[in-house]
Amino acid sequence: MITTFQYALQQDNITIEQLLRDDFQVGKKVMHEMRMAKSVLNEAGEPMVWQHHYPKGTNLTFNVNVEPSSYVATNVCEVPILFEDAHVLIVSKPADMATHPNDPGQTGTCMNHVISHVNKQGGVYAEHVHRLDQGTKGLVLIAKHPLIKSMLDRMLEDKQIIRTYEAIVDGFMTQKSGSIRTSIGKDRHDSARRAVSPSGQTAITHFEVVGQDANFTKVHVILETGRTHQIRVHFSSIGYPITGDRMYGSRTRADNYSLQAKKLQFTHPITKEMIVVEDYK
């Protein structure tokens, strides 16, 4: 299946290769595939010359080859969609729902619901750019075609997508803002857990206290890295586990732990709009 969209050059005297490499930051493999497939056309439907310099305002048509995603669609999409355009979706994943299937044919995950929505629009492709733990609720960014997926993956790696979380932790935090910079690796005693480990991967979590009482503290958290269970591990390691997170030491009994992906902010790599989406639920 081919996904088509239009784009007007926003710079003067630029080649198609420069646009894809420098502006869109498309990887070499995807760029080579697009060049071989003659995926970029002019207004007459003719392939663009990749090394020719084109003026600002030149109208391009992108024909992106799309292989269908493998998720089994639910009958109805029950995941709230908070933002959508021709390229991306931002959805609000409920707590106790996995982001994506872990086994072939698995249903009921966030991506099963999302592909149902996309299919009903005539699309076949949807892939998450990042994931949330099953117990974490909130915003998930999803690509609607492989080109934007490649671009967003690079942006995430380069820390150009700002993810803000809101958490309630046990205890009264005396430090009102700061950063936790301790590496995270697998727990040697429990494969489902992660732990602070000198031999683990670098992990950096920034936080700011936004409210508290004698027993609990509400914090806003920005991830600089995205390790498995990062926020949960980091706050537990400094003595303030996420409220209700029994896996990481909370003594508060709750149906789920209190962690939400609250806000996503990034410059849209194609439209260049500043996208800011907040989840108020």
Catalytic residue numbers, as ranges = 133
What's the CA gap between 106 and 66, in Å, rounded?
Answer: 22
Question: Cβ contacts of residue 171 below 8 Å, gap of 6+?
Answer: 215, 216, 217, 239, 240
- What does the alpha-carbon distance between residue 268 and residue 24 come to, in Å, rounded to a whole number? 10
Q: How far is 202 from 4, CA to CA, in rounded Å?
A: 39
* Residue 265 CB neighbour total at 10 angstroms: 15
Q: How far, in Å, CA of 236 to CA of 167, rounded? A: 12
Are the C-beta atoms of 183 and 137 separated by less than 8 Å? no
Q: How many CA atoms lie within 13 Å of 157's alpha carbon, on the beta-carbon side?
A: 9
Identify the residue whose tokens are 């997170």.
Answer: 245
In angstroms, the CA 111 to CA 181 distance is: 32
